[in-house]
Amino acid sequence: MKEKKIEITYKSVAMDELPDEDRELIERAKGMTFRSYAPYSRFHVGAAVRMDDGSIVGGSNQENAAYPSGICAERNAAWQASALYPGMRMKKIAIAARNVGQGGADAAFQGSPISPCGACRQALLEYEHLYGDIEVILYGADSIYIFPSISSLLPFSFTEF
Ligand code: THU
């Protein structure tokens, strides 16, 4: 029997340590939280994808009265990115969230970063495998984390594609 270990390396950074283009991506993700449709959870999530050609594609969570029909901000952004730029690498994705249920329509951003759900990780992983690593920037008002790839957030994922 052999015990094995998986380690994840990620960065904890301050806003002023980031290059302008990453700050811009975060601002787009933050802005997208104001375009969320989340009347049921009142948890407004925004995501912004930086494409290989420098373009940015935003997405927000969209809920539905038939609850499972809703979609997370990350998959919304990634699917829009793939539809608008088929075959193009998504270099980075930034994510931000505001809990409108607690703070009202202009609620502050979450202090701690929120992390993409398992389904979003798997969906993003497929684009990563096809086109190259997608850096993940998790924005929180108190801390910002940067992961080098989706796969670093999803060990032992399904990769038979
Ligand atoms: N949600 C996202 O959009 N992204 C995440 O990473 C986690 C959760 C959405 C789904 C749902 O609309 C709401 O947040 C509450 O779970």
Atom 5, ligand 1: residue with shortest CA distance:
116
- pTM for the model stands at 0.97
Q: Is 107 helix (H, G, I), strand (E, B) or coil?
A: coil
Cβ proximity of 109 and 67 under 8 Å: no
Instruction: Provide the 3-class DSSP secondary structure of residue 9.
Output: coil
Question: How crowded is the C-beta side of 20, counted as CA atoms within 13 Å?
Answer: 1
Q: Which of 63, 72, 74 to mutate to test the pocket of ligand 1 (most atoms within 8 A of CB)?
A: 72
* 31 Cβ closer than 6 Å to some ligand 1 atom: no
For residue 150, report the distance from its CA to the centre of ligand 1, in Å: 17
Count CB-CB contacts under 10 A for residue 47: 32
Q: How far is the CA of 71 from the centre of ligand 1 (A)?
A: 8
Q: What is the full per-residue pLDDT of the chain (161 aa) written as tens digits?
A: 999 999 999 999 999 999 999 999 999 999 999 999 999 999 999 999 999 999 999 999 999 999 999 999 999 999 999 999 999 999 999 999 999 999 999 999 999 999 999 999 999 999 999 999 999 999 999 999 999 999 999 999 999 98
Cα–ligand 1 centroid distance for 63 (angstroms):
9
